[in-house]
Amino acid sequence: MAATITVRNLSEDTQRVLRHRAIDHNQSFEAEVRQILTEAAQASSSTATPAATIFAAADQFRKATSGLGFTLPPRLDETQRDVNL
């Protein structure tokens, strides 16, 4: 069964990067996002830790968007927190 998701508050910069990436791959915006999500899901294996899966997806996104002038908004909360895996 196919799922439908809604992504709220996607920045204009992110939309622009994804739109350019879709054009580069000769496909629709929706198809590009679907491909990114599918590849990220397939990159994870049953033995991967949740953190490894998240880092792999983040690395894949970083590689896909490098060189496109994409800038992250400033962090509002710089408090460091412990991560329990």
Report if residue 29 sits inside a domain. yes
- Structural domain including 48 reads 13-64
pLDDT tens-digit profile of 4-59? Answer: 888 888 889 989 999 999 999 999 999 999 998 888 877 765 556 667 778 888 88
pTM of the predicted structure, to 2 decimals: 0.51
Q: Return the biggest CA–CA distance within the chain.
A: 42
Report if residue 74 sits inside a domain. no
How many CB atoms are located within 10 Å of the residue 32 CB? 20
C-beta of residue 20 within 8 angstroms of C-beta of residue 68: yes
pLDDT recorded at residue 7:
83
Structure tokens that stand for 54 in this block: 């998240």
Token pair 């799922």 is found at 3
pLDDT tens-digit profile of 57-81? Answer: 888 887 887 777 767 777 777 777 7
Q: Domain count of the chain? A: 1
C-alpha to C-alpha distance for 71 and 11, rounded to whole angstroms: 10
DSSP 66: T
Report if residue 79 sits inside a domain. no
Split at pLDDT 50, 70, 90, the class of 3 is confident
pLDDT recorded at residue 48:
60
Report if residue 71 sits inside a domain. no
